[in-house]
């Protein structure tokens, strides 16, 4: 699925493809970003249903990660450092 987490996990390996805002790739005019908390919640939902989260990161024209994306990735990384064992290597529950 793209842009949502299915209510029921498919009966086969699966992943959800998700953007941090509303656009795939870099879009300077799209500032409607999901919060870091919402992205972490989605990560947990996907892991809890046995899936993989493919989170879109769109570098700008110079190849730099926009600050809004970098901040969310850093916050997710901090969460994973503290709580990763709750989702890494687990199965659907």
pLDDT in tens, 30-63: 999 999 999 999 999 999 999 999 999 999 999 9
Q: What is the pLDDT of residue 63?
A: 96
Percent of the chain with pLDDT over 90: 92
Per-residue pLDDT band for 90 (boundaries 50, 70, 90) equals: confident
Please state the φ and ψ torsions of residue 47, each to the nearest 5 degrees: -60, -40
**CB of 16 within 8 A of CB of 2?**
yes
Percent of the chain with pLDDT over 70: 100
């Amino acid at each position: 699925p793209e842009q949502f987490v299915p209510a029921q996990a498919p009966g086969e390996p699966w992943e959800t493809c998700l953007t941090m805002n509303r656009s795939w790739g870099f879009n300077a005019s799209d500032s409607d970003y999901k919060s870091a908390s919402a992205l972490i919640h989605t990560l947990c939902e996907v892991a809890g249903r046995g899936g993989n989260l493919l989170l879109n990161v769109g570098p700008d024209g110079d190849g730099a990660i926009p600050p809004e994306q970098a901040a969310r990735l850093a916050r997710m990384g901090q969460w994973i450092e503290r709580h990763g064992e709750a989702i890494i290597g687990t199965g659907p529950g």
